[in-house]
Each structure stands twice: as structure tokens, then as C-alpha cells.
Structure 1
Amino acid sequence: GEVDGKDYFFVDETDFKRQVRDGEMLEHAHVFGKFYGSPKGPVEVAIAKGQDVLFDIDWQGAQQISNSALQEHVLSIFILPPSITELQRRLEGRGQDTAETIAKRMQKSWDEISHWSGYDYVLINDDLDATEEKLKTIVTTERLRRSQQPGLVEHVRALQTEFEMNNDLQVIGK
């Protein structure tokens, strides 16, 4: 039910491998028999406009992005389940995977969880609303970092120029 250009951009395996080879992917992986990746171009454009880009990727993809040319813009958040039992219940409750796929995901989950300490923030998703609020707080706070505010340097320079011009006018008027 996923739509090309909305949920994902679907390409054939040959084109995907070419994009990886040509450095057009910000991150990529082969997971559960399928190729996944994030094209670099649209991400760079969005970041240049000051927009946030959200990735739902495994730890290897997160490392690839963190080690990319965009690393100064990366904020990594790992969301832990409250328990392994609850993780399995949630996967089964989605109703979109076969029992075999769920078993594979559960097996892979420990490998993912074992990399929790490589993230900037870690949340335990034991209450969806509370976790969402914490996530919003983290993102809002990080947006306020100097390095994440496009145009801030130019704004400060404009203030400095204005101050200097006003200061020059005061000196002339004395």
C-alpha cells in the first residue's frame, strides 16, 4: 500500500546500486532481503532551507549519516521499548508482518538495542504521549543551537552594521 514518491521512492536494484556507487545515497542498507537508502540531494536541500529531516533507520544507517558531510546537523535519538515482551506485542499488534518477519525483527532487535549508547539521546517509550513530548522538547532545544539556525550569522552582522551606523551618527551629531 505504499505510494512511490510519497512513502518512498522506489527504484530497481540496478539503479539503487548505481546511486550507492555514485555517492548519491546519504545512507543505505540491505535489510530483510530488501535495499533501503536515503537519497542525499533532497536531504541537503531541506537542511539548507532550515527544515528538519526525520529518519527511521537502523544503527548502521545512523552511523553513516553521522559520519557524512551533514554530521553537524545530525541529532540522533534512540527509542527503546519498555520491555522485549512489549516490543513483540507491538510488532504483532501492527498486523503488517508475517510471524516469520516478526521473528526476524525480534532477533535483530537486540543487535539494534546494543548500540543505544552511540546516540545523542535515548528515550524509553513506555508512555506514547510522554515520549512524544520528550521528543518534541529535544528537537525544539536542538533547533535553537547556533549551528542549526540558518541566517543567524547574517542577522548578527546586520545588527552590528546598524549599531555602527547609529554610533557614527551620534558621533557626528555631537
Structure 2
Amino acid sequence: SYKLAGHLDIWYSHIMTDLPIYVFTGPSGAGKSTLLQMLLEKFPNSFGFSVSHTTRKPRPGERDGVDYHFTDRDSFLSEVFQRNFLEYAEFAGNFYGTSRLAVESVLNAGRICILDVEIQGVKSIHAIQPPLNAQYILIRPSSISELEKRLRGRGTETEETLSKRLARAREDITFSETEEGQKLFTKIIINDDLNTGYKELENFVLPAVKCTKCAL
């Protein structure tokens, strides 16, 4: 099951900025993390990644504070109670959230902030008042069968979690094709070929990169 746990309704005025925030979402296995890593490596001084918090266990190779801030359930819920998350949600028994401080640190460093959130988090951030200077990008495969092939090839999923991820992906892709989804997302990238997907992403963000450099 996946549910929205809640979101902040107020964005603190001291970090209101002209720098855009790019909010990315997409099914696990769609290649989102790879595309974002390529973007960050090419433009290390223009973009900063807002590291999310999660209560799930690290996967092999994941680093605390780099890929995620790994935490326990009690600590996470304590942060929720203190209203320290812009958005947070629960998937397959684990919490995921974007902290206000993580976003602040990127923007205060003069960088364009990149968020990687679940689709319900996109809806939450989109609902924040006053509105953020944000763009919302969905990275998706062309089909569920292609996604299943990638997830099985990754070898990190049990049959149970694989089934949940595929069910969630079906819902997300279906939503993206609705009128509401079309209005919510600024850009939808079908990532079947990594080089093509990256070029489409780079072309989309390049105006903001050039604008940032002009302002420096």
C-alpha cells in the first residue's frame, strides 16, 4: 500500500528564491537515478541533490547521506511531528520524505535543487502555498513489461516487492495520462534509451543552467 502521510502548507519566506526546483518522479527501474547522476556529473556547480530520508534498509552500494539519509521509524516520525518535511509518504511499510533543511542547503548554496520523490510527493509539493518555483518531471519506461525486465535484472527485489512496485508503476503511468497528470507534469520523458533520455533531459534543463550562470 502507498499513502500520502501529509505535507507542509507553508514555505518559509527566508529561502524564497529565483532558483528553480526540479521535482523528479518515476517508477523504480525507470532509470531516473542514472539520468540524474549523469546530469549532476556534467553540471556539478549548477545543480544540487536534495537527499531524501527513508526508513528502509540500504541496498548494496548505497551510502548514508549521499543516496539517502537512512533513519529509523521513530526518528522519522519525530521529524514529521516537528513539521520538518516538505512531503513524506509510506510505501511497502517504509517511510520516505524530503526535509526542509535538505532543500534549504542546496538553494542557499546557489544551486538549482533536484528532488527525487514518489508521485504522491509531487502532488504534495505542488500543493504548497505559496507555490514553489518548481518544475515537475516524470521519468517512465514505455511499458510495464520493460520495467519488469529491468527490475528483475537488478536483482534487488523479492517477488512481493516486485509485485508492489509494478502495481504502483501501473497506477503512476495511468495517472500521468489523465488530464490531471498532464497538467501536473511539466515534462514527461520516456526513458527507453539512456542516451536519448539524457539528451531530452539536458535540453529541458539547459535554459535554467544558462540563466543560473548569467546570474553568478
TM range (shorter): 0.7 to 0.9
What residue is the counterpart of 1:103 in the other structure? Answer: 163
Residue 144 of structure 1 deviates from its aligned partner by 4.9
Cα shift readout 1:90-111 (whole Å, capped 9, x = no counterpart): 1111111112211111111111
Identity of aligned residues (%): 32
Do the aligned partners of residues 151 and 81 (structure 1) sit closer, same or farther apart at CA in structure 2, a change above 3 Å counting? closer
Q: Which has the higher helix share?
A: 1
SS of alignment partner, residue 112 of structure 2 = coil
- Contiguous gaps of at least 5 residues in structure 2: 1-59, 177-181
Q: Which amino acid aligns with 1:108?
A: R
1:36-47 aligned within 5 A: 36-47=96-107
Q: Does 1:131 align with 2:197?
A: yes
Q: Which has the higher strand share?
A: 2
Q: Does 1:10 align with 2:70?
A: yes
What is the TM-score of this pair, normalised by structure 2? Answer: 0.62
- Contiguous gaps of at least 5 residues in structure 1: 156-174
Do the aligned partners of residues 110 and 141 (structure 1) sit closer, same or farther apart at CA in structure 2, a change above 3 Å counting? same
Structure 1 residues 61-70 or 43-52, which shifts more? 61-70
Q: Does 1:86 align with 2:146?
A: yes
Matched residue count: 150
SS of alignment partner, residue 3 of structure 1 = coil
Q: Distance in 2 between matches of 1:70 and 1:16?
A: 26
What residue is the counterpart of 2:22 in the other structure? Answer: none
Do the aligned partners of residues 71 and 51 (structure 1) sit closer, same or farther apart at CA in structure 2, a change above 3 Å counting? farther
Q: Which amino acid aligns with 1:138?
A: F
Q: Which amino acid aligns with 2:191?
A: N
CA RMSD, aligned part only?
Answer: 2.3
Residue 150 of structure 1 deviates from its aligned partner by 9.2
What residue is the counterpart of 1:64 in the other structure? Answer: 124
Q: Distance in 2 between matches of 1:136 and 1:70?
A: 28
What is the TM-score of this pair, normalised by structure 1? Answer: 0.76
Q: Which amino acid aligns with 1:50?
A: G
Do the aligned partners of residues 90 and 142 (structure 1) sit closer, same or farther apart at CA in structure 2, a change above 3 Å counting? same
Q: Distance in 2 between matches of 1:22 and 1:151?
A: 38
Do the aligned partners of residues 125 and 151 (structure 1) sit closer, same or farther apart at CA in structure 2, a change above 3 Å counting? closer
Aligned 8 A contact 1:77 1:123 in 2: yes
SS of alignment partner, residue 23 of structure 1 = coil
Q: Distance in 1 between matches of 2:174 and 2:204?
A: 22
SS of alignment partner, residue 135 of structure 2 = coil
Residue 56 of structure 1 deviates from its aligned partner by 2.5
What residue is the counterpart of 2:206 in the other structure? Answer: 140
Residue 130 of structure 1 deviates from its aligned partner by 0.6
Residue 46 of structure 1 deviates from its aligned partner by 0.9
Residue 36 of structure 1 deviates from its aligned partner by 0.8
Q: Distance in 2 between matches of 1:150 and 1:41?
A: 24
Q: Distance in 1 between matches of 2:214 and 2:78?
A: 35
SS of alignment partner, residue 151 of structure 2 = helix
Do the aligned partners of residues 66 and 60 (structure 1) sit closer, same or farther apart at CA in structure 2, a change above 3 Å counting? same
